Structure 1
């Protein structure tokens, strides 16, 4: 069936704009016959206002573009209907044309004949007057520069510094939520033993938060190859100590518990406020599945073949690794939902290095758009891992630059959570993406 390309513009300046843009992207992925290809950076701009506008309307917008592939049987009017449903779901209310809004989704451009009726015009009528729409569009669809050079305003050139409405790529907001790794272990592969006293622990937490971590993922069992065995009692004791110290420092800190033992998880969540569960064994045990259902907490569900990982047990080299991961996730998500978990709880982690060879890991990270059949949110944990020895000979503890290089290449349309050891280097990579 014939497929065409369409670009959508997203904008928000009311409520929590970044969360509303993230939600709109996830909902767009649910539209039948539409496949999200990639997203632009996030752009900030002044609001476009009429004369004598209310002062409360003067709030900066956060904008982005989403490039999609659509099947021929998805018409412009049908797509518009889906968009209106998404806007209503996110909370857009009827208001004056220039009023602040929780979400605004426009069809900017379509690679077919121009379309116009009373409710819709493609290309968007004001596309070439709005840098907050045109610049994100050109980022995700750069071929348009060559096809319409006579229509591009001077400010659309990359070398022009000042754009109308002070439009610029955001240095504060990023598509993925940043999950900071906090290992309170003796022998984790890159930072084992570093945070086993109160001063070092709290210093690292403060560093992660200052750099912009949205979530802290804490674990007390190393899962590297040949890791030292940790008893359930030891793991519980270490987590209890660390979380008690953290609670003294910041009681409202969003925490993820990196633990695969149901007994430990149960004891911890009875005592501490944990927002996310992170199970590297993919919630394979009935006890962990039961906790997932009963607590209703959001969960990072990781693909793994063995824990700790073994080099001789990886996905098949005969088949595309992403096809194998997609199949695994579809079966796993169905299994967990049959047990009573809600779809909204489940976040897929492809488990880079856990059942994937170095070559397979690199392929997965470079082709995330092939996971378009996965409608769930995705977490990528690629920080300092062994696949990086394919292009670096530095020790794991020094591989934040190698991690950042891969972060910069990844398709952020398919990364809702980024689990890393060093937040600032990864944010720098995302700022430099364009």
Structure 2
């Protein structure tokens, strides 16, 4: 049994921790099994006298316990590879970092070498390490005393605010990010026409953020079956005022003291729309054609924002078109995604920027969509985050006769399974219902953690 300590103080810290945990514990490349995750704690940066002021950025910290078959040296090399793949560049001791992963403790193992010391030599000096350890191994003896005793003493010495459990970050790290859908269209399958006016769209966006959306996904072209293609000028006329309004809303959220406000995602396959949206300042590019167009790839190369690449056979969806019935839909999509990843690699687009969306309902029969959802954990083998957009879609007709706008209960039922399978982003209409689902899971997680039960991250 081994415990890793994880920390981040650059960018969206919770997302960086979530992605590191997924890489460590999910998919065929997982190196930790039967894992338990501590609470998530906030703490100030440790910086030496004379360090640049830009280094003084607060951390989110946690610890991850699990079983491993690797030897200590091999595990060290693996976590260093994960750090690099997630975008860590500056390895100076006190410098800020996207992700930092340390081997803290290993049951029955003590090592002292130039490259690795186990237990970690700084454990007893750092409250932000002791608190997560207390969550996981309170009765373990370190230096003649229990972790519980060390943590209590360190907590008593710590100044107010030096180390604190962060419930919001705990949810952000442990559960899927909710991507709220904002359709600025007259003809989307579920809510077409409701948010076509900028004022109405921004009111809805504000509501989604208040309900718990971490991402607002803005789209102005309906991709419903046999939908009408719109020209880029029309798309931009719909999107531009809403993007400006969302940027203002981001500033408002930051002014209230939230360091990591919601992110803005632009859902478009038109290069001119994407370029203009980047000029305004969007955070995520979401391409339903999977960045297969050369010009879209050129844009991806020229920026450093995250990219959602979705599988589809045609846009808008063509009725009756699907993955060949003699092919396993999961294997088909894994093969397609691996080809896309190889193309991104050839173009120097780093994998830590990429998110895969299997495209539920886009060129899939209802049976194929259900099959993909049932086996969605297989996509963790790609070693990148997963986004699933299943909300209110037509495959749910196999379990309900309700119209699309009335399928939130069925959507939530599917989402429960996706939470358990570690999907990182859920693209949904009903943010409030999903936030309630996540909150209940979180309460159960904390109760299990207090009881010492195994808790999936």
Return the TM-score normalized by structure 2: 0.68
- 2:309 is the alignment partner of 1:301: yes
Q: Contact conserved, 2:29 with 2:381, CA < 8 A, in 1? A: no
Matched residue, 1:399? 407
Matched residue, 1:339? 347
Structure 2, unaligned stretches of length 5 or more?
44-57, 112-116, 120-129, 139-162, 255-261, 445-457
TM-superposed CA distance for 1:195, in Å, is: 0.9
Distance in 2 between residues matched to 1:167 and 1:276, nearest whole Å: 29
TM-superposed CA distance for 1:402, in Å, is: 1.8
TM-superposed CA distance for 1:399, in Å, is: 2.1
Distance in 2 between residues matched to 1:407 and 1:292, nearest whole Å: 30
Matched residue, 2:274? 265
Distance in 2 between residues matched to 1:414 and 1:262, nearest whole Å: 32
Distance in 2 between residues matched to 1:42 and 1:383, nearest whole Å: 31
Counterparts in 2 of 1:134 and 1:319: CA distance versus 1, 3 Å:
farther
- 2:287 is the alignment partner of 1:279: yes
Distance in 2 between residues matched to 1:108 and 1:388, nearest whole Å: 47
Matched residue, 1:213? 213
SS at match of 1:310: coil
Aligned length: 373
Q: Contact conserved, 1:368 with 1:411, CA < 8 A, in 2? A: no
- 2:20 is the alignment partner of 1:24: yes
- 2:265 is the alignment partner of 1:256: yes
- 2:300 is the alignment partner of 1:292: yes
TM-superposed CA distance for 1:213, in Å, is: 1.8
Counterparts in 2 of 1:257 and 1:333: CA distance versus 1, 3 Å:
same
Counterparts in 2 of 1:77 and 1:257: CA distance versus 1, 3 Å:
same
Counterparts in 2 of 1:373 and 1:107: CA distance versus 1, 3 Å:
farther
Candidates 109, 127, 131, aligned match of 1:116: 109
Distance in 2 between residues matched to 1:248 and 1:236, nearest whole Å: 18
Matched residue, 2:192? 192
Structure 1, unaligned stretches of length 5 or more?
1-5, 48-58, 96-101, 122-126, 136-164
Distance in 1 between residues matched to 2:35 and 2:402, nearest whole Å: 32
- 2:433 is the alignment partner of 1:415: no
TM-superposed CA distance for 1:10, in Å, is: 5.2
- 2:246 is the alignment partner of 1:246: yes
The C-alpha deviation readout for 1:204-224, integer Å capped at 9, x for no partner, is 111111122222110100001
TM-superposed CA distance for 1:61, in Å, is: 7.9
What do you get for the CA RMSD once the two structures are aligned?
Answer: 4.1
TM-superposed CA distance for 1:19, in Å, is: 3.8
Counterparts in 2 of 1:379 and 1:134: CA distance versus 1, 3 Å:
farther
Q: Contact conserved, 1:39 with 1:413, CA < 8 A, in 2? A: no
SS at match of 2:390: coil
Matched residue, 2:333? 325
TM-superposed CA distance for 1:306, in Å, is: 1.4
- 2:139 is the alignment partner of 1:133: no
Matches within 5 A, 1:2-41: 18-28=14-24, 34=30
TM-superposed CA distance for 1:236, in Å, is: 1.6
Return the TM-score normalized by structure 1: 0.71
Matches within 5 A, 1:77-226: 77-80=73-76, 82-83=78-79, 115-118=108-111, 132-133=135-136, 172-175=171-174, 176-226=176-226
Q: Contact conserved, 1:281 with 1:304, CA < 8 A, in 2? A: yes
SS at match of 2:218: strand
Matched residue, 2:124? none
